[in-house]
Amino acid sequence: MANSIDHTLDIVVLVSPHFNVSATTSFVDPFRVANYLSGSVRFSWTYVSELGGRIESSSGLVVETVPLAQVSRSKSWLVLVSTSWTPERHGTRRFKAALRIWEANGAIVGGMDTGAIVLAQAGLLKGKTATVHYEHIDAFAEIAQDTTVSENMFVTEGKVFTCCGGSAATDLGLRFVHSVAGESIANASARYLFHHDVRGEGQSQNPKDIEPLGYVTSGVVRDAIDLMEAHLETTLTIPEIAQRLGVSQRQLSRLFRQYVHKSPVGYYRDIRLDRARGLVTQTELKFSEIAEASGFNGQVHFSRAYRNRFSLTPTADRIEGRVPFEFRAWPMYKPDIKSEGVS
């Protein structure tokens, strides 16, 4: 049942440099549309940063923000933390204290994209379930060990929510509109935004039964990838994977070449290295621990494979990888030429 609104509900949108503007505005837009369609200011929002002023998003768009100190004691209905790259840098003492005060005063508090990492640092996710963008899932699991990590698009627990970002932000915003403005306004807002299929909780960030553009991948390849992803630390051999799937190794190799344009060995190695890269750039784990967690026998072997894939060492990447992608001076991947035999 919707709660009646007898006053304007205030939303604080906390942003950090290089935040994802698309996800953030996708969350806010349902509230804007609800105001327009209802003919009244039911919701208001303020963009806020630590020091205020102009904050540049990851796409280069700039938003004007007010200083955190100006609103940290305000009685807000909902507080959204929207971060992307290097969220740990924005979990300052002042930032975390403000979040705890808002939460204690009954505000709904949530994180967008990597915002859950800031919430975890503030102690707001202890014993709860939360999500981040799938690129940061492994790092989040290491950072927030007292939190159950979900790969769903968004998760709500009581008055705390987390969201992976992207179009899921619109689903979540519409859910909040529905909770206080009612079904009629929420449905009208969804139609106005051409968001005709509002997804609820429990939806995976990467559903395996559909492809975004409708293309179909071999079921054998999908099942093989599932096995690989389930055995990143204690790896399987390609013959073992083929045997479990009931196909020959030759057939498995042919299907991988056809659908993903890599050998099974090359694909398996790359997803392990991609996981490793997330841990290198998003955590402070020792490289030896990352090598082991990614299924490599020894740090030397790991460092060589890492450099072959990313064109720089883990040590250099730990520094450069904290720079948003569009500002890096090196390519994320170099052509996969001579590393097929590295496993």
At 25-84, the pLDDT tens digits run 999 999 999 999 988 999 999 999 999 999 999 888 999 999 999 998 888 999 999 988
Exposure b/e, 47-82, CB count within 10 A at least 16 = b = bbbbebeebebbeeeebebeebeebbebebbbbbbb
Instruction: Return the closest-CA partner of residue 42 out of 2, 13, 73, 70.
Output: 2
For residue range 105-117, list pLDDT tens digits in order. 999 999 999 999 9
The 3-state DSSP class for residue 183 equals helix
Residues 290 and 26: their CA atoms lie apart, in Å, by: 35
In this predicted structure, what is the pLDDT of residue 321? 61
**Which residues are paired to 199 by β-bridges?**
none
**Which residues are paired to 239 by β-bridges?**
none
CB 152 within 8 A of CB 205: yes
**pLDDT above 50: residue 191:** yes
**DSSP letter assigned to residue 131:** -
C-alpha torsion sign, points 293, 299, 305, 308: positive
The 3-state DSSP class for residue 270 equals helix
In this predicted structure, what is the pLDDT of residue 124? 96
CB 294 within 8 A of CB 276: yes
For residue range 212-267, list pLDDT tens digits in order. 555 667 889 989 988 998 898 899 999 999 999 999 999 999 999 998 889 999 99
For residue range 12-37, list pLDDT tens digits in order. 999 998 899 999 999 999 999 999 99
In this predicted structure, what is the pLDDT of residue 153? 92
Q: Which of 129-133, 272-276, 333-337 has the lowest mean pLDDT?
A: 333-337
Report the predicted TM-score, pTM, of the whole model to 2 decimal places.
0.78
Instruction: Return the closest-CA partner of residue 13 out of 85, 93, 115, 149.
Output: 115
CB 2 within 8 A of CB 181: yes
The larger pLDDT score, comparing residue 205 to residue 105, is at 105
Average pLDDT, the chain: 86
- DSSP for 275-294 reads HHHHHHHH----HHHHHHHT
The CA-atom distances, in angstroms, between 157 and each of 124, 148, 181 are: 11, 12, 20
Residues 11 and 14: their CA atoms lie apart, in Å, by: 10
In this predicted structure, what is the pLDDT of residue 27? 97
Q: What angle do CA 314, 272, 289 make, to 5 degrees?
A: 55
CB 148 within 8 A of CB 140: no
Residues 144 and 120: their CA atoms lie apart, in Å, by: 6
**Which residues are paired to 45 by β-bridges?**
11
